[in-house]
Homo-oligomer: A and B are copies of this chain.
Amino acid sequence: MEAMLKILGERKRCEIVRLVWSEELPAAEIAARFPDVTRSAISQHLGVLRNSGLLTERRDGVRRLYSANQAEMGKLREFLDSFWSQSLVRLRDLAESAEQAKERK
């Protein structure tokens, strides 16, 4: 899961995911949004994102259409949420053991 965080920790990759969040885009179009780097660089980022499951690829002839895998992104959100829920769980466990201690009296 930390791997996904690291992958999105790169500005361009994060932007790419946002770009194809609600619409499929071909690699060329994605690359066009990043004029400061070569298409190769973007292709490599796409490879990383595809490999991690954050992007899905659909082939249409010679083109490759990318779109965000919202489900996979959802896992990341759950992971972040777990930071908050862990303390709740800990509180719950604490409350439970206190209850059991009381019953053992």
A contact set with B: CB distance below 8 Å: 2-3, 5-11, 14, 17-18, 21-22, 68, 70, 73, 76-77, 80-81, 83-84, 86-87, 90
Number of copies: 2
A80 near B83 (CB under 8 angstroms)?
Answer: no
B7 near A2 (CB under 8 angstroms)?
Answer: no
Q: If the complex has contacts A9-B5, A9-B6, A14-B2, are A21 and B86 also in contact, measured as CB distance less than 8 A? A: yes
Q: Separation in Å of the A28 CB from the closest CB of chain B?
A: 22
B83 near A18 (CB under 8 angstroms)?
Answer: yes
In angstroms, Cα B22 to Cα A87, docked, is 6
Residues of B within 8 A of A10 (CB): 2, 6
In angstroms, Cα B76 to Cα A74, docked, is 14
